[in-house]
A and B are shown apart, each in its own frame.
Chain A
C-alpha cells in the first residue's frame, strides 16, 4: 500500500511538472504580450520591463527559473495583479471555491446517487423514465443558462436569496445549487448504469435466491460494486468543483479561483496561469489517489501492491 502511494505520488509529481511547463510554453509562445495595453508604451519601457521580468532570456532559462520558484515554494508575483504573489491569490480565492464546490459536490451526490439508484431499481418504469429525462436535461443545460435563470428566479423574483455577491452563508446556496444540479445529473446517470449492471450479476442472483431482502441486496451487495465507475468520475469532479467555475463565479459574482483561471490566460499572466494550473494538477492528482485507495477498499479484487 505504502509503495503504491509513493509510486503514485512520484507519477503525480511528474504530471505536475509537465503541467507547469506546458502551461508556461503555451501561454508564452502564444501571440500577445503581458505588458500590452491599449495605449502604446515606448520601446525602451517595454525593453526595461522585459529585462526586469527576465523575459529577454532564452526560453529554457525562463522555464527553469519558474520551475525552481514553484519547487522551492518561492511563489512568483502575478504579472497583472502587481504586488500579489500567486500564493496570495490562491489563498484568497480557494476558500470561496472550496465552499461553493464542496456544497455543490454534496448536492451532486446527495441528489444524484438516490435518484440514480431509484431509476435503476425501477428500471423501465415511470420513476426511471422521469429521473433520466430530468438528468438528461440537466446534462444538456449549461451553467451559463441555468445560473442566470436560478439567479433571476430565486434572487430577483422570489427574493429568497441575493441575486449575486458573496457576503454571508446565504450566498452559498444559489451557486452551489447551480453547480450541484448539473453534476447531479451526471452522477445519477452513472449510478443508474453501474447499479443496473451489478443487479444483473450472478452474485446478486445468488443473494436473491438466498432470500435476502431487496434493500439488503442493494445496500450491502450491489451498491459497493456499482460505486466503482462512479468513483472514477467523482475524483476529478470534486477537484473540478472545488477549484472554481468561471461561469458560475461570473454569474453570481463570487471571488473564487475560476475567474483567475480565465483572466490569467487572457492577460498572458504567465506566473498566475502556471500557479493555478499547478494547483489544479495537485488537486487532480490528490483526488485520483484518494479514488484509487477507496476503490481498493470497496473492491477486494483490486490489490494495490500487485500493480
Chain B
C-alpha cells in the first residue's frame, strides 16, 4: 500500500512539473515579437551564400544580401522595385541609347565614410572585366563598348572600354549599340561598385579568394552594412550611417537565414521566427492557395521553365518532331492539376510583362491530333520507329514530377517511349554543356526587363544555348535589334526573332514561374517584383500581430 502511495505521489509531482514547465514555456515571447520591438527584419534566404564579393557572387541568395549592402548607379524604385529609381546616380540621360551620362550623387559615400566617385565605377568595372579575376557575370558588361575585347585579354588598356569619368560626379558611358533597357540593367550587382580601399588592403585588384569581403573587412555603399556572418547560420546587416538616403531607411537590422529545407523554413515561420520566407514547400502551395491565409503571397517572376532539345541527335533534329512533342503537352493540366503551384502555362519563351509593349506570341497550345499528324509526317506514324529517348533532369523540386508528366503525355498522345535520368546539379549542368542528352529540363531567369535577356540565350554563339541549334535569320534579327534605336521597331524585330524560334522550337517552353512566400502581417511595403528586386530601405515593420490562420 505504501509503495503505491509513493508511486502516486511521484506521478503527481511529475505531472505537476510538466504542467508548470508547459505554462512557462508557452508564454515565451516569439522571436519575431522581440525582433519587431528591435525593428529587426528576419528573412529566410534559401541556401547559404557563397561570397559577398560582388564580382564573384552568382546566385539569388547572394543577390538578396548584396542588394541590401551595395547599390548601383540605379536602384529599385521605392514605389515599384521593377522601375528605376536613383541610386548612386541622381539622374541619367541619353539621346540615342548608346551614349549615356550619369550624374552621381555628391552625397554618395562608402560605409567607411570615404566619398564614392566616378573613379570607383571605373575601378569596379575594370576589376569585373579583368580576365585574371575570371568572373561568371563579366558577360553582362559586354554591352559596354570594347568590354568584350578587354575581358578576353585582347587588350590590356582599360581606356579602350566605353566608360569615362568626365569629373568626379559625372560618368560617361558608351555602349556597343542602343540599349533602352540599360538603366534597368544597372540594378544587377554585376554593375555595382566595389571598394578599392578594402580590396587592395587585403590583396590585389584581380586576386580571387582574398578576405576583403569577410566580416570586419568589407566596406559597402548600400542602405545597410555587414554586422555579422556565420556560415550556414545567419548574416546580419545594420544601418549604414553614411548611406546617402539614410533618413529613408526603415528597419534597424536585417537578419538573413540560410534555410535549405523548405519544410524547415515553413515550420520556423509558423513558429514565429521569420518575417519572410524564401519560398513555400511545393506540396503546401495548393493548400495555401485554397485556404488563402493573409500571410500567403504569390507573384509572377521573370522566369521561364523550358525543355531543351538536343538538335544534334536524331530524331530531335527534325522540327516536326519537336513540334509534335510540344503539341502533345497539356501545359494547363500540368500547372493546374499536377504541380498546382500557380505557375502560368507558357505560350512562348519570353514571359509576359517583360516589356509593356511586347505582346505575347501565344503560339504554343495543346493539340494531340495535330501532334500525331506531325509525328507521322516526320516518319513515325503512331510512334513506330521512334527510338526511346531520355529526359535529363536535376533532382530538386518538381523536376521529377514534370518529367513524369511528360513521359506519360508522350506515351499516351504519341505512343513513344521516354525514360527519365536524374543527375546531381553539377553533373546535370555538365551533361548539358557537353550535349550528352536527348531532352533536358532547363530554366532561365531574366537579368533585365527586356525580351533580349531571354532571346539572346538562343543565339548560335551564346554559351547558354546548349542545344546545338543555330539559325542565321534568328542571329541576324537579334543582331539587328541591338542596332535599332527606335524602341517600337526594336521590339518588332525581337518579336519576329521569337517567331523564328517558336517555328523551329529548339526549346519547348513549359511554364512561367510564380514565386510564393509567407510574409508576416507586420511587414509593410515589401512589394512584389518580377525581377526579384527588393527596395529594403522602404520596408517598415509595424507592431507585432499574431498570425491568423494555423494550417
Using CB atoms and an 8 Å cutoff, list the residues of chain A in contact with chain B.
30-46, 48-49, 52, 77, 80-84, 89, 92-93, 148, 151-152, 155-156, 158-167, 249-253, 255-256, 259-260, 263, 266-268
Contact = CB atoms under 8 A, between A and B. Distances in A.
Contacts of B58: 37, 39
Contacts of B226: none
B267 A82 contact: no
Contacts of A93: 231-232
25 contacts: A33-B426, A36-B426, A37-B429, A38-B429, A39-B463, A40-B463, A43-B463, A44-B131, A45-B131, A81-B231, A82-B51, A82-B56, A83-B51, A83-B209, A83-B213, A148-B263, A155-B267, A156-B271, A160-B25, A163-B268, A164-B271, A250-B260, A251-B261, A260-B231, A266-B426
Given A42-B139, A44-B131, A159 B25 contact: yes
Contacts of A266: 424-426
Majority secondary structure of chain B interface residues (helix, strand, loop or mixed): loop
Nearest to A45: B134
Contacts of B259: 164, 253
A159 B264 contact: no
A32 B427 contact: yes
Contacts of A163: 267-268, 270-271, 273
Nearest to A96: B233
Contacts of B139: 42
A35 B425 CA distance: 12
Interface in B244-267: 257, 259-261, 263-264, 267
Given A31-B431, A36-B429, 4 more contacts: A32-B427, A40-B464, A159-B26, A163-B271
- For this complex, into which size category does the number of interface residues on chain B fall? 35 or more
B430 interface: yes
* Chain A interface, >50% SS class: loop
A55 to B, nearest CB: 12
B429 A52 contact: no
Contacts of A156: 267, 270-271
Given A148-B263, A166-B233, A83 B53 contact: yes
B135 interface: yes
Interface in B348-389: none
Contact of B50 (A81, A92, A152): A81
A2 B271 CA distance: 54
A256 B131 CA distance: 36
Contact of B232 (A32, A80, A260): A260
Contacts of B430: 31-33, 36
Contacts of B25: 158-161
B152 interface: yes
Given A33-B430, A52-B208, A77-B209, A253 B134 contact: no
Contacts of B47: 263
Residue in A39, A152, A161, A166 whose Cβ sees the most chain B Cβ within 10 Å:
A39
B209 A31 contact: no
Interface in B194-237: 208-214, 230-233
B264 to A, nearest CB: 5
Contacts of A255: 230-233
B489 interface: no
A63 B343 CA distance: 47
B486 to A, nearest CB: 30
Interface in B454-482: 462-464, 466
